Amino acid sequence: VAAAIDGRAAGLGLGPGREFDLIREFFRDTPPTPHPSVLVGPGDDCAVVAGPRLALSCDLSVEGVHFRRDWLTDTEIGYRATSAALSDLAAAAAAPIGVMAALALPEGAAGSSRALMAGVTAAAARAGAVVLGGDVSRTEGPMVLDVIVVGSSGEPVVRSGAAPGDELWVTGRLGAAAAAVALLERGERPDAALRERFAAPEPRHREALWLRERGVLRALIDLSDGLAGDAGHLAAASGAAAVIEVGSLPVHPAAARVASSAAEAVRLALAGGEDYELAFAAAPGATEPLVEPFHREFRLELTRVGRFEAGTGVWLEDADGGRSAAGAGFQHFGAPS
């Protein structure tokens, strides 16, 4: 370790030369893009962004934990990490403005910074956001990306607004990212459409803003951990119990195709993370009239998957009304049969 510490510039800054070469490369493909809310972009000590209210989040992606470099290209790694981070803005019904990317690059991957940043920039651009800056360092370990997102927030939409009696809804279909990973882990290749669900997830901020404008969002979260886990976050923050009606889950066809059984498909939809769809609490009856216009606008399903009740925790309810705690349910659904 000592040898890796560069004694020349205080031992700890990387000093002129190497780091700056990396930083130059880091921004070479990401010239400042004008944005009406961005007063100072990349290249200074800070970016400066106009409010009045900004939503902020950061999302770590660690090689070997969140991604594998033999599964994704560098550009896909940057794109996926940025989409995952932007999804936190969707979960707060905030409109993306900008992203910062902090990259720790292994020795052999120093040349990856441009490709990573191409992915970061593309994901940001698709969301209407610009690159605000970032940081870069070498590392003796795996590649690490931390993507910071900044969005314009109205009155904040948080996790804690669900009340007993509210309905639980989700956007899209669930389990495709988990299905892609299951194939990759078996050494099989997902087809292009399925691969994209894993490599280039689409954060749902436009959908969140649309729903917000129509006043139905009482509590909102994005599905990064899987519906059972994320419904649990809504329930815990709101002081209520979430009941998931298993029969109504919009299981993605790819999950059904890849799964070895119907139970396994449900498990992928419930526990498979990183679909980056939205889950929200809404007053009874408020969302049903929006299903059709929402689908016309976004070509995406809105599905009622359960409800909130007095109590705590997450409960899985089958078609007969039988109920199990989601933790136990996981074991049940998840156990290889």
Q: List the interface residues with a copy of itself, window 287-326 (CB under 8 A).
A: none
Verify binding: residue 88, a copy of itself, rule CB under 8 A. yes
Instruction: Kindly state the smallest distance separating residue 13's Cβ from a copy of itself, in Å.
Output: 3
Which one, 55 or 259, has the nearer CB to a copy of itself? 55
Question: Which range of residues in 88-96, 114-122, 240-248, 286-294 is near a copy of itself by CB under 8 A?
Answer: 88-96
Report which of 177, 184, 179, 182 is spatially closest to residue 199, judged by C-alpha positions: 177
Instruction: Kindly state the smallest distance separating residue 110's Cβ from a copy of itself, in Å.
Output: 13
User: What's the order of all strands across the beta sheet hosting 219-222?
Assistant: 219-222, 278-282, 167-171, 302-309, 241-245, 314-317, 323-325
Verify binding: residue 328, a copy of itself, rule CB under 8 A. no
Verify binding: residue 39, a copy of itself, rule CB under 8 A. yes
Question: Which range of residues in 62-70, 122-130, 162-170, 290-298 is near a copy of itself by CB under 8 A?
Answer: 62-70
Compute the distance between CA of residue 28 and CA of residue 114 in angstroms, rounded to an integer.
7
Output phi, psi for 56, to 5 deg.
-135, 140
The residues, ordered by sequence, that sit 6+ positions from 110 with a Cβ below 8 Å of its Cβ are 22, 138
- List residues bridging with 263 in a β-sheet: none
Question: Which range of residues in 25-33, 118-126, 133-141, 239-247 is near a copy of itself by CB under 8 A?
Answer: 133-141
Query: What x-and-dash track marks residues 91-120 binding a copy of itself by CB under 8 A?
Result: xx-x-----x-xxx----------------
Query: What x-and-dash track marks residues 5-24 binding a copy of itself by CB under 8 A?
Result: x-xxxxxxxxxx--------
Rule CB under 8 A: which of 154-183 touch a copy of itself? 156, 158-160, 177-178, 181-182
Instruction: Kindly state the smallest distance separating residue 167's Cβ from a copy of itself, in Å.
Output: 20
Do the Cβ atoms of 21 and 41 come closer than 8 Å? no
The residues, ordered by sequence, that sit 6+ positions from 196 with a Cβ below 8 Å of its Cβ are none
Q: Which amino acid is at 11?
A: G
Verify binding: residue 286, a copy of itself, rule CB under 8 A. no
Check residue 207 and give left, alpha or beta (phi > 0: left; psi -120 to 50: alpha). Answer: alpha
